[in-house]
Amino acid sequence: MAAHSILISATAQDILHIEDSFAAREGFRLLNVQDTADLFITARAQKPDIIFITPNDSDDYTSEKCCCRQLRDDPELKGIPIIAVIDGNNKSHLHRCQLHKPDDILFTPLSNHLFLAAARRALGLPHRSFNRVQTSLKVEFGPDRKNLRPACAYNLSTGGIFIATESPIELNTKLTVKLGLPDAEKPIICESIVSWVNRCSAPEEPDTPAGIGLQFLSLNATDLFAIHSFINHHLSTP
């Protein structure tokens, strides 16, 4: 089966740092373009399945709206989903997205897994789940490294962690997680974002404790390998 193609602008690539090999393993082919003019030329020639842009992509045009509007108005391109990658703290970018309505918006910082999950969601493709193990590891989490509180991890994967907590925390909240693995020299500390909430009242999964599912955003290679080894050890243990 041919890979689904993703057209990604230079400014979006600078933010995401997506590697071709990573995308290929997930069933996608990247089409990198240098500027807005190149974006339209490549889009018309390659007919990508989805397009990722940033508000700065339209600098070659008179205003930001031209990029989305020309994509929408082009008979050859108007059916291609458009996803904007923006800094949620930038009010100008937020206003532009509210005005011109891309199919989806991703807020930075952003992990490769979240990037491709958004592509799958926009294209109606099945989500690829990570190997996940149930655990009772002690963790700490909070708004930043100086404000962490203890909790217990209910399950763990290389993509994220589920923390049992009855504290009301909203979706898309950014949190810092500190996780200690057995035999690790030092704890893993990384940024994350709340991607799922199982509330005390009317839980989506009654057999799972109240808590929050966190998507990792900033795992380095060493920490990713440590989590991967921990999971594989548990999966291979009878």
User: Does 159 share its domain with 107?
Assistant: no
Q: At 209, phi and psi to the nearest 5?
A: -65, 160
User: Does 168 share its domain with 91?
Assistant: no
Q: What is the mean pLDDT of residues 164-175?
A: 88
Decide if pLDDT at 218 tops 90. no
Q: What is the mean pLDDT of residues 84-113?
A: 70
Decide if pLDDT at 102 tops 80. no
- pLDDT confidence of residue 110: 66
User: Does 45 share its domain with 72?
Assistant: yes
- The secondary element (H helix, E strand) that includes residue 147 is strand 147-157
The whole domain housing 42 covers 4-123
- Residue 96: pLDDT band by 50, 70, 90 thresholds? low
State the CATH number of the domain containing residue 195: 2.40.10.220
- pLDDT confidence of residue 146: 93
User: Does 221 share its domain with 155?
Assistant: yes
Angle at 76 between CA 24 and CA 84, to 5 degrees: 55
Nearest to 38 by CA among 22, 60, 55: 60
- pLDDT confidence of residue 165: 92
Spatial neighbors of 4 by CB under 8 A, at least 6 apart, are 27, 28, 29, 49, 50, 119, 123, 125
pLDDT in tens, 21-48: 767 777 788 888 888 788 888 999 999 9
pTM of the model: 0.52
Decide if pLDDT at 150 tops 70. yes
User: Does 80 share its domain with 108?
Assistant: yes
Which of 94, 123, 152 finishes a domain? 123
Calculate the average pLDDT of the chain.
80
Which of 70, 96, 123 finishes a domain? 123
- pLDDT confidence of residue 161: 93
Residue 86 backbone class (left: φ over 0; alpha: ψ -120 to 50; beta: rest): beta
- pLDDT confidence of residue 88: 65
- Pairing between strand 28-33 and 4-9? parallel
- Residue 127: pLDDT band by 50, 70, 90 thresholds? low
Higher pLDDT residue, 20 or 238? Answer: 20
State the CATH number of the domain containing residue 34: 3.40.50.2300
